Amino acid sequence: MKKIENISSRRKFLSDTTKAGLVMGLVGTGILASSCAAAKVTTSGGFSTGFSQTPLPYGFSALAPNIDAKTMEIHYTKHAAAYASNLMDAAKEEGVDISKPLENVLASISKYSVKMRNNGGGHYNHELFWNIMSPDGGGKPKGKLLEAITASFGSYESFVTQFENAAKTRFGSGWSWLSVDSSNKLVVSSTPNQDNPLMDVAEIKGTPILGLDVWEHAYYLNYQNRRPDYVSAFWNVVNWDAVSNRFEKAI
Ligand code: MN
């Protein structure tokens, strides 16, 4: 992991362009990333996450039928919104400077409250999740990312199997992840609740570049108890350009 140009301006740009309705098609193309400027801070994997919820980069129905509109709407406007709101409360209560990246807090989460851990993780995880999916997603990774996946897991198919197993065998609520570890290797892991690999309490640490929400709230309306079907459908909406972008910034 390395120090990079801060991208707080990216957030503003993302927010502004989303308001202008221009963001679709820009996320993951590198156009947003190249708009970076401003102060230097250390971020995780070149991505800096703020404490407020950013606009969903597509409509609620955009990922259907893989993820239905009602699930997306409730997930974004209720569940994820609550994490962001509760995170802001926790930040006030615990004197966290919200002008700094959330990643800084996650890296030393063991020093904060359970409220910060649950909602800081919850907010970060969902901000990542919305942005690694796209209505134009699916297919396979390419280029350097595909090479790294092949080097770490033997093949793309073997990676998919490991990732799906992590998602399917997470008991109760949690996430499965593809992350870049401290030696720039790719690792698959899963975390309980709203934990993630950036946290100092994580069993397997790294910079997440792909994450899948396996809480029942992410799939129950459409898939009920069939988590494996939801996990399979996820591949149809993965935005590999966005994942590649995160990968290249993390190494
Ligand atoms: Mn969720």
Mean pLDDT by 10 residues, the chain (251 residues): 40 39 37 34 68 97 98 98 98 98 98 98 98 98 98 98 97 97 96 98 98 98 97 98 97 93
Tell me, yes or no, whether 103 lies in a domain.
Answer: yes
How many Å lie between the centroid of ligand 1 and the Cα of residue 39?
Answer: 32
If you measure from the C-alpha of residue 57 to the centroid of ligand 1, how many angstroms do you get, rounded to a whole number?
16
Q: Ligand 1 centroid to 151 CA: how many Å?
A: 31
> Cis link prior to 55 (omega < 30° from 0)?
no
CA of 38 relative to ligand 1 center, distance in Å: 32
Cα-to-centroid distance, 236 and ligand 1 (Å):
18
CA of 128 to the centre of ligand 1 (A): 11
Digit-coded pLDDT (tens) for 176-232: 999 999 999 999 999 999 999 999 999 999 999 999 999 999 999 999 999 999 999
- What per-residue confidence (pLDDT) applies to 45? 58
Residue 135 CA, ligand 1 centroid: distance in Å: 19
At 160-192, the pLDDT tens digits run: 999 999 999 999 999 999 999 999 999 999 999
pLDDT of res. 4: 40
95 within 8 A of 168, measured Cβ to Cβ = no
Determine, yes or no, domain membership for 94: yes
Cβ burial of 174 (10 Å; 0-12, 13-18, 19+) is buried
**40 C-alpha vs ligand 1 centroid, how far in Å?**
31
226 Cα to the center of ligand 1, angstroms? 16
Give yes or no for a contact between 50 and 88, defined as CB atoms under 8 angstroms apart. Answer: no
The Å distance, Cα 71 to ligand 1 centre, comes to 10
The Å distance, Cα 70 to ligand 1 centre, comes to 13
Answer yes or no: is 224 within a domain: yes
What is the domain range of residue 166?
A: 68-251
Strand blocks (E) in the chain: 4-5, 40-41, 174-180, 186-192, 207-213
Dist CA 174 CA 45 (whole Å): 22
Do 33 and 10 meet the contact criterion of CB atoms below 8 Å apart?
yes
Q: How far, in Å, from the CA of 83 to the mean position of ligand 1?
A: 9
Q: How far apart are CA 33 and CA 180, in angstroms?
A: 19
Is residue 45 situated within a structural domain? no
Kindly state whether residue 160 falls inside one of the protein's structural domains: yes
**Residues 241, 234: contact at Cβ < 8 Å?**
no
What is the CA(46)–ligand 1 centre distance, in A? 23
What does the pLDDT read at residue 44? Answer: 58
The CATH number that applies at residue 246 is 3.55.40.20
Q: Is residue 11 part of a domain?
A: no
Q: What is the pLDDT of residue 46?
A: 66
Structural domain count of the chain? 1
189 located within any domain: yes
Q: pTM for the full model? A: 0.83
Expressed in angstroms and rounded, the spacing between residue 63 Cα and the centre of ligand 1 is 15
194 falls within a domain: yes
Please give the pLDDT value at position 11. 41
Q: Residue 2: its pLDDT value, please?
A: 40
